[in-house]
Amino acid sequence: MSDLLVTLGQAGYPEAMPSVTLDHYLVLSALMFGLGLIGFVTRRNLIIMFLCTELMFQAAGLALIAFGRYHLNFDGQTFVIFVLTIAAAEAAMALALVVLLFRRRESLDASAWTELKG
């Protein structure tokens, strides 16, 4: 079974890429994720905060595809499809919420909403 999988997985790849390791992609992914996280925390505009979450999705997608390539199967790519799905759904909902919130306060400042204050 595993033999079958190996051959199956390797079928789509033309050749090896000797000087790029999995680590390259993972480091890149980590940096993108970190930037998205920093952006989410530091920026006060609700829309940019959601953009930052999209950036984090990107980073996750990159890591997934790199892992898929590393393991020579297509589950990684399939998962990225779902990531895209969720990103789209999230964007739709979140942006609807942003519009709703903007109507309430006439502002996109996340700090304007502090009702959760203890």
Partner 1 sequence: MDALGMITSTLTLAADATSGAAMPWWVIAIPFLPLANAALVGLFAAVGDKTRLPAWTTVISLAASFGLTLLFFLNHYEGSATTVKAFDWISIDWAASVEDGGSGVTALVANFAFYFDGLSLLWMLFVTGLGTLIALYASEYMDHDVGGGYCRFFAAFSIFVFSMSCLVMGDNLLLLFLGWEGVGLCSYLLIGYYYKKKAAVDAGRKAFVVNRIGDLGLLMAMFLTFTTFGTLEYAPLMEMVNANTTASGAVLSESWQVWAIPVLIVAGAFGKSAQLFFYVWLPDAMEGPTPVSALIHAATMVTAGVYLVARMNPLFLQDPNLIGLTVVTWGGTITALWSATIAMAQYDIKRIMGYSTVSQLGYMFAGLGFLTSTGGVFHVLTHAFFKATLFLACGAVMHGFAGQLDMRRLSGLWSIPGFKIVVIAMLIGCLNLAGFPFTAGYFSKDMILAEAFTTPDSVIPYSSVAGWILLVTAGLTAYYTFRVFFRVFVGPKHYEPGEDLHGADPAGFHPHGPRWAIKLVLGVLTLASLGAAGLYLVGDHGWAGDMVHHSTADVGALPWSHAEGAEHSAAYAGPAASSAAESGLLFGQDPHKIMYYVSAVVGAIGIGLAAFFHGPKGLTGLVIGGRTSSDKTRMDGLSRAIRPVSTWAERKWLVDELYQFLIVGPLWLVSNVFAAIDRFIVDGIVDGLGRLPRALGEIIRPAQNGVLHGYALRMLGGLAVVLLIVVVFAL
Partner 2 sequence: METLVGQEAINPLLLYLGCGLGAVGVIVAMPRRGLSLALFGLLIGALGVGLLALGLGIHAGGDGLPNPAFYVFGAIALASALRMITHPRPVYAALYFILTVIASSGLYLLLSAEFMAFALIIIYAGAILITYLFVIMLATQTPTEEEGDNLSDYDATAREPAIASAFGFVLVAVLTNMLTLGTPGLPAAVATGDDALIQLPERLQDGFAEAGLLSDGERLVIGETGRVVTNESGAVAVIAEGSERRYIERAEWPADLSPSNVERVGLNLLRDHPMTIEIAGVILLMAMLGATVLARKQVDLEEEAKAHQAKKLAETFEKGTPA
Beta carbons of 99 and 107 less than 8 angstroms apart: no
- Residue 2 interacting with partner 1 (CB under 8 A): no
- Residue 114 interacting with partner 1 (CB under 8 A): yes
Q: In the set 10, 42, 78, 85, which binds partner 1 (CB under 8 A)?
A: 42
Q: What are the residues whose beta carbons fall under 8 Å from the beta carbon of 62, sequence distance 6 or more? A: 25, 28, 29, 32
- Residue 113 interacting with partner 1 (CB under 8 A): yes
**Maximum distance among all alpha carbons in the chain?**
61
Reading the block at residue 12, the tokens are 């789509």
Q: Which does 7 bind (CB under 5 to 8 A by kind): partner 2, partner 1, none?
A: partner 2
Residues that bind partner 1 (CB under 8 A): 37, 40-42, 44, 49, 110-111, 113-118
